[in-house]
Structure 1
Amino acid sequence: MDFRKQKLSIAEAKEMDMVQYLSSLGHEPSKIRNNDYWYHSPLREENTASFKVNRKLNRWYDHGLGEGGNIIDFGIAYFGCSVGEFLKKLDSGISFQKPFKNRSKTENQPEHPLKIVKDDELNSYALIHYLEQRKIPVEIATQYCREVYYELNAKNYYGIGFKNDSGGFEIRNPYFKASSSPKDITKVKNASDEVTVFEGFMDFLSFKCISRNELNKTPDFVILNSLSLFEKARPFLESHKSINLYLDNDAAGKKVAREALSNSKRYNDYSKLYQNHKDLNDWLVHIGKQQKKKKKKKKRLGNKL
Structure 2
Amino acid sequence: MTIKEANAIDMVSYLSVMGFVLAKSKGINYWYYSPFRQESEPSFKVNRHRNQWYDFGEGSGGNLLDFILRFENISIPEALKRLEQHKHLSAPAADDLPADPVIEILSVHAVSSPALIRYYQSRRIAMEIADHYLQEVRYKNGEKTYYALGFKNDVGGYELRAPYFKGSCSPKASTWIKNGAENLAVFEGFFDFLSYQTINQNQPVPLRDFLVLNSTSFFELQLPIMQAYKWVHLYLDNDKTGTRCTTSALQKFPGQFIDERCLYAGYKDLSDWHQHIGTAP
Instruction: Output the TM-score relative to the length of structure 1.
Output: 0.60
State which of 189, 198, 220 in structure 2 corresponds to 1:231.
220
Counterpart code for 1:285: Q
How far is the alpha carbon of 1:231 from its aligned partner? 1.7
% identity of equivalent residues: 42
User: Where does structure 1 lack aligned partners over 5 or more consecutive residues?
Assistant: 1-96, 291-305
How far is the alpha carbon of 1:117 from its aligned partner? 1.1
Once residues 190 and 153 of structure 1 are traced to their aligned partners in structure 2, the CA distance between those partners, rounded to angstroms, is 39
Larger relative contact order (C-alpha < 8 A, sep ≥ 6)?
2
User: Where does structure 2 lack aligned partners over 5 or more consecutive residues?
Assistant: 1-82
State which of 261, 268, 281 in structure 1 corresponds to 2:271.
281
Cα 1:282–1:186, aligned 2, differ >3 Å: closer, same or farther?
Answer: same
For 1:215, the equivalent position in structure 2 comes to: 204
Alignment of 1:1-20 (within 5 A): none
More helix by share: 1
For 2:152, the equivalent position in structure 1 comes to: 163
Are 1:130 and 2:125 an aligned pair?
A: no
Alignment of 1:70-219 (within 5 A): 99-100=85-86, 105-106=91-92, 108=94, 110=98, 111-219=100-208
Aligned-CA RMSD value: 2.0
3-state secondary structure, aligned to 1:204: helix
3-state secondary structure, aligned to 1:287: coil
Once residues 119 and 263 of structure 1 are traced to their aligned partners in structure 2, the CA distance between those partners, rounded to angstroms, is 41
Counterpart code for 2:166: K
3-state secondary structure, aligned to 2:219: helix
On the 8 A contact 1:113/1:152 being kept in 2, the answer is yes
1:258-292: CA deviation from partner (whole Å, max 9, x where unpaired):
001001020001112111111101001111667xx
Once residues 221 and 262 of structure 1 are traced to their aligned partners in structure 2, the CA distance between those partners, rounded to angstroms, is 22
Larger Rg: 1
Are 1:246 and 2:232 an aligned pair?
A: no
Once residues 197 and 238 of structure 2 are traced to their aligned partners in structure 1, the CA distance between those partners, rounded to angstroms, is 19
On the 8 A contact 1:186/1:223 being kept in 2, the answer is yes
Counterpart code for 2:85: P
3-state secondary structure, aligned to 1:218: coil
On the 8 A contact 1:98/1:176 being kept in 2, the answer is no
Cα 1:117–1:288, aligned 2, differ >3 Å: closer, same or farther?
Answer: farther
Once residues 91 and 264 of structure 2 are traced to their aligned partners in structure 1, the CA distance between those partners, rounded to angstroms, is 37
Are 1:267 and 2:257 an aligned pair?
A: yes
Counterpart code for 1:192: A
Counterpart code for 1:189: K
Cα 1:218–1:107, aligned 2, differ >3 Å: closer, same or farther?
Answer: farther
Counterpart code for 1:274: Y
3-state secondary structure, aligned to 2:150: strand
3-state secondary structure, aligned to 1:232: coil
Once residues 147 and 269 of structure 1 are traced to their aligned partners in structure 2, the CA distance between those partners, rounded to angstroms, is 33
Instruction: Output the TM-score relative to the length of structure 2.
Output: 0.65
Once residues 235 and 280 of structure 1 are traced to their aligned partners in structure 2, the CA distance between those partners, rounded to angstroms, is 24
Once residues 185 and 155 of structure 1 are traced to their aligned partners in structure 2, the CA distance between those partners, rounded to angstroms, is 27
How far is the alpha carbon of 1:104 from its aligned partner? 5.3
1:170-218: CA deviation from partner (whole Å, max 9, x where unpaired):
0000000001111111011110000000011000000001111222332
